[in-house]
Homo-oligomer: A and B are copies of this chain.
Amino acid sequence: MSSSEDNAVRLQAMQDACTAAGDDVRALKANKADKTEIDAAIAKLKELKIALDVEVKAAMAAGDEKLAEKENFRNKMSGALEQRLFYIPSFKIYGGVAGLYDYGPPGCAVKSNLQAFWRQHFVLNEGMLELECPSVTPEVVLQASGHVEKFTDLMVKDVVTKDCFRADHLVEENLERILADPMTPADRRRELEDMLARIEEFTAEEMGAAIVNLGIKAPETKNDLSAPYPFNLMFPTQIGPSGAAQGFLRPETAQGIFVNFRDLLYYNGGKLPFAAAQVGQSFRNEIAPRAGLLRVREFTQAEIEHFVHPEKKEHARFNEVADVELNLFSRDAQLAAVKKPFLMTAREAVAKGIVANETLAYFVARTHVFLEKIGIDLKRLRFRQHLQHEMAHYAEDCWDAEIECTYGWIECVGLADRSAFDLKAHSDKSKVELTAYERYDEPVISEVFVCEPNKKDMGKAFKKDAKAVTDALMALSQEDAFALAAKIDADGAATLATAAGEKEILPGMVSVRMETQKLSGRNFTPSVIEPSFGIGRIMYCMFEHSFYVRGDDEQKTVFKFSPLIAPIKLAIFPLVNDSGMNAHAEKLSRELSSEGVSTKLDTTATTVGKRYARNDELGIPFAVTVDHRTLQDGTVTVRERDSCDQVRVLSADVLALVKRMCALTHTWEDATAGLEKQAAAAE
C-alpha cells in the first residue's frame, strides 16, 4: 500500500473517531448526563477534531508540495526549452493560437533526428512500404472510417457568454477537487471514484447527469452550462471552387494506408504479411488544448499498418526481440487489488497469452527498444493493456506505451490488433474488394447448389420475357428450386412468378442440381496490427527525462540527449581569439558539416565554462576545443557533456570518433578507451 493510501485509511479512522465522539456527546446530552462527564466528552471531541484538522492540513500540504515540485521542474524545463527555441507558441506576435506550436532550430533538429531514426529502426530495417498521403481528405473516406460520426468530444457552453468547455475536463476537475478534500465521506468518495473511472465512456446523458450531480457551473462566470453535446474534432474545409465538396484535415495518417491496400499488396507481389508506414501531420480541433506539446491541434504521427493473415500472426523476426524485458501493465494487473506493472520477456508474455500474438508482441518489444535508444528512462515506461471496455468491439488486443512525466502517465504509442475492421469498412463503402488471396495447401472439395436455366428454351418459349423468367429462376433459393424441379418432374410443368407475370416452366427448361467443385484457394480480408506513434508526445517526455541541473547551480541547465537525437552533435571552439585557432576550428566545422555531422562553431572567445554551459542548454553531447597544442601537433580536446571527461585526439580523428558515438555503436567509454585523458579546465 502506498503512503498516500496509508494516509487515507488513517484519516478515515480519525474521522470515524470524531463522529463517534460527537455521537457520545449527543448521547450524554440526550441522557442529561453529569456536566463534568459531558465536558470531558466535549474536550475529547475537540482534541480529536484538532488532531484531524492538523492531519488534513498536513496531507494537503504534502500533496501541494509534490505538485509544486513537479510544476517547478516543468516550468524550469519549459523555460529552458522556450529560451533556446526548442518550441514556441505559433504566431506569437499575434497573441498565439492555443494548441499550435512552432519548433525552432534545435527542436526541429531533434524532431528530424527522431523521425530519421524511427524510419531507420522501423521502415528501413524491416523493408516496410512507406507512403505519403495528403492531409486534405474527402468526407467519404472519413465516413467509412467512422470519424465523421464518432470522432467527437462532449462539449458544454456557458449559456450566457457562449464560451465552450470540454465536459469531461470540467467534471474531472471537479471530481479531483472533491476527492482531494480529505473530509469527503467514504461513501461519496467511492461514488465519485467510480464516476472518475468511467468518465471516458460517458454518454451525453450520463455526462449531463454528472454535471447536475456535482453542481458544476461555468468556470469564472459561474453561469449555467448547456447540456453536453458531441463536437466533431476534425477541422472542416471545402475542396475545389464550388464549395460543394466537403473535406476534412485528416485526424490520423492511417486511413491513407488503408485506402491504398490493394496497390500495396500488388506492389508486394501479392504476398502477406507486409507492413506499410506513414509519417506526417495529423489535425485535431481540440476544444481545450492544454499541457503544452501533449494535447495540440496539429501534430506529427508515425503510423505502421502491418497486414497479416488473421490466423497466422507469428512474426518471422520475433526471436530477435523475444528476450526483451517489458514493463507490462496487463488487464489483470490493472484489475488486481494491488495495481502494479510487472517485468516479463516478450517471449513469456506471448507464451502465457498475456499479449495476444507474436506480431503484436514483436512491435511492443521493438517500440521498447526504440524508446530506450532515444533516451526514454525505462523506469518511467510501461505498456498498459486496454481494459475490455476501452477497446473497440472489433479489436483483438491493444497496448499503449505510456511514459511518465510531470503530467502523469502519457499515452505516447498505441499498439493495436484491429482485426479486419478498417479494410472491411473501406471495402463496404467503396465497393472495391480489399482482400488477399490464399491458396489452400490442398484443394477443398465442396458441394455447390446450381440452378441453370436453359438459354435456348428461354428465348424460344418466352421471347421478350425471357430475361424476367431467367432472373426469377436464378433468384430461387436452393429449397424453392428443388421444389420447382420436383413439381415439374411430378406434374410435367410448374408455375413460376416472374416480373413479367406468372409463367409455366416445362421439363428441360431448367437444370437444378448439386455439383462437386474443387476450390484451390479463397479471398480473405487480412487483419491489421497498428503501431501508432505520437512524435510530439514522445519528444516532450524525452525532454523531461533528459533535463537536469548541474551540481548546485540552478542556472546550469542540461539536456542529456542521446548523441543519436541531440540537435547538434559537436560544439567547436578556439580556446582564445587567435587567427590560427579560429582557422583550424572553422576548417574542422566545415569538414564535419559536409559529412552530415552538425556542429556549432563558437568563436566568441568568452570563458570556456560559459561556452560549455551554453552547449549544455542545447544538449550538445560533445565539445572540441582547439588550443595552443593543436597548432603544434594537430590534436584537440573532446569533452563529454555529462561526465565532463576530456580526451585528447588528433583533429583528423574527430569525425570518426563522433560518428561512432552518434550511431550508438560505441559509448564514450568504448570510443575513447586508450586515448590520452585531459584534466578538465576550471569551468
Chain B contacts for A593, CB-based, 8 A: 124-125, 127
Chain B contacts for A241, CB-based, 8 A: 155, 164, 231, 285, 287
Question: Does residue A91 face the partner (Cβ distance < 8 Å to B)?
Answer: yes
Name A238's contact: one of B85, B236, B430 (CB within 8 Å). Answer: B236
* A105 and B267 contacting across the interface, CB-CB below 8 Å: yes
- CB contacts under 8 Å to B, within A580-603, are 593-594, 596, 598, 601
Stretch of A134-142, A214-222, A496-504 on the interface side: A134-142
Name A138's contact: one of B91, B101, B235, B429 (CB within 8 Å). Answer: B91
Query: A96-140 interface mask toward B, CB cutoff 8 Å, 1 = contact, 0 = none?
Result: 011011111101110110000001100011010111111111101
**Known contacts A104-B267, A281-B135: A94-B140 contact under CB 8 Å:** yes
Chain B contacts for A132, CB-based, 8 A: 102-103, 107-108, 111
- Alpha-carbon separation in the docked complex, A135 to B285 (Å): 13
Task: Give chain B nearest CB distance to A82 CB in angstroms.
Answer: 9
Copies in the complex: 2
Chain B contacts for A134, CB-based, 8 A: 90, 100-102, 297-298
- Alpha-carbon separation in the docked complex, A297 to B136 (Å): 9
Question: Does residue A306 face the partner (Cβ distance < 8 Å to B)?
Answer: no
**Known contacts A105-B130, A267-B104, A596-B124: A94-B236 contact under CB 8 Å:** no
* B137 and A260 contacting across the interface, CB-CB below 8 Å: no
Question: Does residue A656 face the partner (Cβ distance < 8 Å to B)?
Answer: no
Number of interface residues of A (CB under 8 A): 77
Task: Give chain B nearest CB distance to A365 CB in angstroms.
Answer: 17
Task: Give chain B nearest CB distance to A259 CB in angstroms.
Answer: 5
* B100 and A136 contacting across the interface, CB-CB below 8 Å: yes
- Alpha-carbon separation in the docked complex, A133 to B108 (Å): 10
* B130 and A88 contacting across the interface, CB-CB below 8 Å: no
5 example contacts (A-B, Cβ-Cβ < 8 A) are as follows: A85-B264, A88-B263, A97-B136, A105-B267, A125-B594
Given known contacts A101-B134, A102-B260, A240-B287, what 10 new A-B pairs fall within 8 Å (CB)? A91-B138, A93-B426, A94-B138, A94-B259, A102-B132, A102-B133, A104-B260, A104-B264, A104-B267, A105-B131
Binding site for B on A (CB under 8 A): 84-85, 88, 90-94, 97-98, 100-105, 107-109, 111-112, 119-120, 124-125, 127, 129-138, 140-141, 155, 162-164, 231, 235-242, 245, 247, 249, 256, 259-260, 262-264, 267, 281, 283, 285, 287, 297-298, 426, 429-430, 432, 434, 593-594, 596, 598, 601
- Closest 9 pairs between A and B when the two form their complex, measured CB to CB: A164-B241, A93-B430, A103-B132, A93-B432, A108-B130, A134-B298, A105-B129, A241-B287, A102-B133
